[in-house]
Amino acid sequence: MQHLIALAVHSAWNRRATLSLTVLAIALSVCLLLGVERLRENIRAGFEQSVSGADLIVGARGSPLQLMLYSVFRIGEATHNMEWTSVQALAANPAVAWSIPISLGDSHHGYPVLGTTKDYFAHFRYGDARTLKLAEGRPFDGVFDAVLGAEVAEALDYKLGSRITLSHGGGGTDLAEHADKPFIVVGILARTGTPVDRTVHISLEAMEAIHLDWQGGAPIPGMSIPAEYVKKFDLTPKTVTAVILGLKSRAAVFSVQRYINSYHAEPLMAVLPGVALSQLWQVVGIGEKALLAVSALVVVVGLAGLVAVVLAGLNERRRELAVLRSVGAHPRDILALLTLDGLGLTLAGSGLGFLLLTTLSLVLGPLIESRFGLSLAAGMPTMEELYLLAGVVFVGLVASLLPGWRAYRISLADGLTPRS
């Protein structure tokens, strides 16, 4: 076997120019496959950790997935709100460490507006228990202060001090605006790769203030309360969309969930974010499998190129193989030699592909994370990536058997017979 390996190495070196292109094609294919797998895992982890560190999310009784969609992803609308008195009662529960009430319903150029408290910036977590960080400015303090997600600020070219007006309703066109009560941008959050990036954050008091002279989703005719007079009114919210709870002990999560689900004052529902997000991913995560399948097809194309190169080179190597047969090489040795050729190229391409991915992760990883909130950290391959690499090598081995079998069938007489 050692002499066959040495022959394969020498033969490959003599054809290094052609084979280098083949190795490069396999390397790029493997780099794409592993890169997609790494991004897929990070996107899935980011999806399932769009909110982390929270033990329960509470809203009006209905569908758990719908609650997650509008409270975490700002998609859709709540059928009912929950009373502010219920929020206060839950916050006062001895098992609750902190609570983040959120109120939705308005928008700004298609981006959702979220009313909340300063506890949002202190306790909200995403990803691997990461805290929200301000890229610029500070959290809201005044009634008409606004803190923007990174995508909102970038897409609309807002800076600190920009004046914005909010629209009534969750999206669409021709929405009525709260033009008489403009907001000042006082903070811009660092990119998170979560729905936070696409959200305009204001205080709950601000959410009440812009609706003081509204009723039934429309302005009250003949009534207009200027922005400078809103502080004269009680801005305590009457209802909110949902509330995010953190408990003092996770051991109490099921007992608190049962308490909320049977809450006597109004029909409420408490869901475990991790469980609900995993279920939601099963519905919306079909695209990741399609993307991985496309990457796998790219690898197949690369390996097909390998087979084509080795087969095309057989005509040039017929004399070489015939000489090997004439000095005593068995047809099985020829088969093994050609198979080792293909296997060696596959191994070299796979190794180079992983090194290329590691280099790109080191160079582009910080840029991708800052721009898109996606983590592409360099490191040792995960078990899933090792399985993919093993699959590529196995398919490469199988593909190498075709030119090996073709060489196996070339007879000594055929190799020595001159061609006209």
User: What is the tens place of the pLDDT at every residue in 12-41?
Assistant: 666 676 778 888 888 888 888 888 888 777
**Average pLDDT of the residues in 163-192:** 87
Q: Is 22 helix (H, G, I), strand (E, B) or coil?
A: helix
Assign 320 a pLDDT band (cuts: 50, 70, 90): low
- Residue 104 φ then ψ, to 5°: -120, 170
Please identify which residue in the block is written with the tokens 């519905």. 283
In this structure, what token pair is assigned to residue 380? 């040792």
**Average pLDDT of the residues in 94-118:** 95
- The residue with greater pLDDT, 415 or 363, is 363
| pLDDT (0 to 100) of residue 420 | 47
Residue 416 has pLDDT above 60, yes or no: no
Please check whether residue 318 is in contact with residue 338, taking contact to mean a CB–CB distance below 8 angstroms.
no
β-sheet bridge partners, residue 98: 246
Residue 283 has pLDDT above 90, yes or no: no
Q: Kind of pairing, strands 242-247 and 96-108?
A: antiparallel
| pLDDT (0 to 100) of residue 327 | 64
Residue 377 has pLDDT above 50, yes or no: yes
Assign 411 a pLDDT band (cuts: 50, 70, 90): very low
**Count of other CB atoms within 10 angstroms of residue 302:** 25
Percent of the chain with pLDDT over 90: 39
Query: DSSP for 322-382?
Result: HHHHHTT--HHHHHHHHHHHHHHHHHHHHHHHHHHHHHHHHHHHHHHHHHH-------SPP
Assign 173 a pLDDT band (cuts: 50, 70, 90): low
**Average pLDDT of the residues in 232-240:** 93
Query: Which of 2-11, 46-55, 115-124 is the least confident region?
Result: 2-11
Burial 325-345 (b: 16+ CB within 10 A, else e): beeebeeebbbbbbbbbbbbb
Digit-coded pLDDT (tens) for 321-340? 666 666 666 667 777 777 78
| pLDDT (0 to 100) of residue 297 | 83
Q: Where are the domains of the chain?
A: 2-47+287-416, 56-271
Q: Highest-confidence range of 12-26, 43-57, 227-241, 287-301, by mean pLDDT?
A: 227-241
| E strand or H helix that includes residue 290 | helix 286-312
In this structure, what token pair is assigned to residue 179? 């033009």
Closest by CA to 9, choosing from 343, 252, 261, 384, is 343
Q: How far apart are CA 385 and CA 41, in angstroms?
A: 10
Assign 224 a pLDDT band (cuts: 50, 70, 90): confident
pTM of the model: 0.71
Q: Is 243 helix (H, G, I), strand (E, B) or coil?
A: strand
Q: How far apart are CA 141 and CA 139, in angstroms?
A: 6
Please check whether residue 146 is in contact with residue 185, taking contact to mean a CB–CB distance below 8 angstroms.
yes
**Average pLDDT of the residues in 177-198:** 92
- The residue with greater pLDDT, 371 or 297, is 297
Please check whether residue 309 is in contact with residue 22, taking contact to mean a CB–CB distance below 8 angstroms.
yes
**Average pLDDT of the residues in 241-255:** 95
Please check whether residue 152 is in contact with residue 197, taking contact to mean a CB–CB distance below 8 angstroms.
yes
**Average pLDDT of the residues in 119-145:** 93
Q: How far apart are CA 143 and CA 230, in angstroms?
A: 9
